């Protein structure tokens, strides 16, 4: 299935393809503040519908994850990084997807503070 997503103001818009059933809720220092519900998909399954330069990026710690956000409205629609095997992945914020009710998703809680 193809989902459309965006930040609040629409300056960052995208499509992502996959089967959305499970999301991850992480309690690390950034995720707990953002409130994102992460849906992990291969990077090639996400297509930006707006120019890449509409994104702002924040990295911290080991600098392995690029946390993308809209510089206008501040919403965090997705982040990028690599899985343990080195495959390029995106963590889509399911709360930014059109027509998705977060309460209907299976949520796995991850203790990111322990990493």
Neighbours of 82 (CB within 10 A): 12
- Tens of pLDDT, residue by residue over 70-112, are 999 999 999 999 988 999 999 999 999 999 999 999 999 999 8
- Tens of pLDDT, residue by residue over 14-67, are 999 999 999 999 999 999 999 999 999 999 999 999 999 999 999 987 778 899
Contact criterion met (CB below 8 Å) for 77 and 94:
no
Q: Which sequence spans correspond to the domains of the chain?
A: 2-110
State residue 55's pLDDT score. Answer: 97
Contact criterion met (CB below 8 Å) for 78 and 46:
yes
- Domain 2-110 class in CATH: mainly beta
Please give the model's pTM, rounded to 2 decimal places. Answer: 0.93
């Amino acid at each position: 299935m193809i989902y459309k997503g965006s930040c609040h103001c629409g300056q960052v818009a995208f499509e992502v393809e996959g089967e959305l059933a499970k999301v991850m809720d992480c309690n690390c220092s950034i995720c707990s503040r953002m409130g994102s519900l992460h849906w992990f998909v291969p990077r090639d399954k996400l297509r930006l519908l707006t120019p890449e330069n509409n994104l702002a990026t924040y990295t911290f710690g080991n600098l392995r994850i690029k946390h993308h956000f809209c510089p206008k409205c501040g919403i965090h629609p997705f982040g990028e990084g690599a899985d343990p095997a080195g495959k390029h992945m995106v963590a889509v914020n399911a709360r930014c997807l059109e027509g998705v009710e977060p309460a209907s998703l299976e949520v796995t809680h991850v203790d990111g503070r322990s990493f």
